[in-house]
Amino acid sequence: MSLRESIDRDPTGAPADPFDLDLTLRRGRRVVRRRRTVAALTGTAATVVLATALTAGLSTSGDPVRDTAVASRGSEIRCPAAEGLIPECTSQVFRYDNNVTVTSSGKLVVRAGWSVTRRVEDPIANVRTVAVAVSDGTEVEWALIEYPDANGDAFAEHTGPRDFPGVAFDDWLDYAKSRWTGEGTTAVVRFNQAGELVAQPGWSISQQATGLTMPAGYRGPADVTAVVQVLGPKRSGGWYLVRHTPTGAEAFPVVAWDGGMEGSIEGVLEYASSSYVLSEQGFLRGSS
Would you count residue 46 as binding another protein (CB under 8 A)? no
223 in helix, strand or coil? coil
Closest CA to 140 of 121, 158, 122: 158
Of 121, 122, 157, 170, the one binding another protein (CB under 8 A) is 157
Of 48, 49, 96, 138, the one binding another protein (CB under 8 A) is 96
Sign, CA dihedral 199-161-267-245, equals: negative
Of 44, 74, 75, 155, the one binding another protein (CB under 8 A) is 155
Q: Could you tell me which residues come within 8 angstroms of residue 225 by beta carbon, excluding any fewer than 6 positions away?
A: 210, 211, 212, 213, 242, 243, 244
Binders of another protein among residues 25 to 44 (CB under 8 A) are 25, 27-29, 31-32, 35
- Of 126-134, 205-213, 235-243, 278-286, the window that binds another protein (rule: CB under 8 A) is 278-286
Would you count residue 283 as binding another protein (CB under 8 A)? yes
Would you count residue 167 as binding another protein (CB under 8 A)? no
Would you count residue 85 as binding another protein (CB under 8 A)? no
- Of 14-22, 111-119, 192-200, 204-212, the window that binds another protein (rule: CB under 8 A) is 14-22
Give the C-alpha separation, 198 to 190, whole Å.
6
> Which of left, alpha, beta for 96 (phi over 0: left; psi -120 to 50: alpha)?
left
Closest CA to 281 of 147, 145, 184: 184
Are the CB atoms for 38 and 285 separated by under 8 Å? Answer: yes
What residues make contact with another protein under the rule CB under 8 A?
Answer: 2-4, 6-8, 10-21, 24-25, 27-29, 31-32, 35, 88, 90, 92-93, 95-96, 101-105, 145, 148, 151-160, 162-163, 216-217, 257-258, 275, 277, 279-280, 283, 286, 288
